[in-house]
Amino acid sequence: MRFVSRTALALAAVVAVAACDRSQPPAPAEPAAPAATPADPAAGPTISDGGLAIEAEGLRLFDDTGAARAIPFGTPQATAIAAVAASVGGAAPEVTTNSECGAGATQFAQFSNGLQLLFQNGQFQGWYVDQAGVTTVDGMGVGSTRASIDDSRAIEMQTDSTLGEEFTSGDIGGFLSDGTPQGTVKGLYAGLTCFFR
C-alpha cells in the first residue's frame, strides 16, 4: 500500500510541476507587409492624409487615419458647414439665399475649393462642384475625361438637357465640355439643385 501511495505522490508532483510551466511556444513570425505604392492623384481623395469626397447621398469625410464619416443629405445645416470647413480649412463661408429656385428658397454655402452646399429648411440637401480637386472616392471630378469615367462607372447622356452636355451616373449628375471621349467634366452635382432649365 505504501508503494502505491509513494508512486501516486510522485506522479502528482510531476503533474503539478508540469502544470506550473505556462510558457508558450514562440508565435510564428508575421509576414512582412507589402511595400506601399505611391498614391495615384487621379484616384480620389488621399484617405491616409484625410480628405473630402462627394457622393450621391451627400459627402464623406476622411480623417488622417483613413476613418470615414458620412455627411448625408438631411444633416443639419450648421453641422454640414462646420464639418466641411474643418476639412477644407479656413473660416466657414457666408450663407446666401436664392428665393427663385424651382424647389423654393434655397441657401448656399460656397467654399474656396469650388464646392457649394445647398440647404432648405435648415438641412443639407445638395451639393455642386465646379473646380478640380474634390472627387468621388473612385476619382470622378471636375477635369475627368468622359473616357476615364466610362472606365469606372456607367454614364448616361441627357439628350434633352437645355444646359449643354449633361450626363448622369447613378444619382450624380454632371456637365461635360463635349460628348466625345476626350470631353472633360465641367461640374458635378447631387441632391437638390437650383438650375434654370
Long-range interactions of 162-170: CB distance < 8 A, separation 24+ = 162/197, 163/195, 163/197, 169/140, 170/56
Give the Cβ contact number of residue 163 at 10 Å. 12
Would you state the cell numbers that stand for residue 194, as one nine-digit string? 437650383
Beta-bridge mates of residue 47: none
Residue of 106, 80, 74 whose CA lies nearest to 93: 80
Q: What is the pLDDT along the chain (197 residues), one digit of tens a residue?
A: 444 444 444 444 444 444 444 444 444 443 333 333 333 434 444 443 459 999 999 999 998 888 999 999 999 999 999 999 999 888 889 999 999 999 999 999 999 999 999 999 999 999 999 999 999 999 999 999 999 999 989 999 999 999 999 999 999 999 999 989 999 999 999 999 999 86
Please give the Cα distance from 48 to 64 (Å, whole number).
5
Pairing of strands 95-98, 106-110: antiparallel
| pTM greater than 0.85 (yes/no) | no
From the options 1.10.3470, 3.30.70, 3.30.420, 2.60.460, give the CATH code of 43-191: 2.60.460
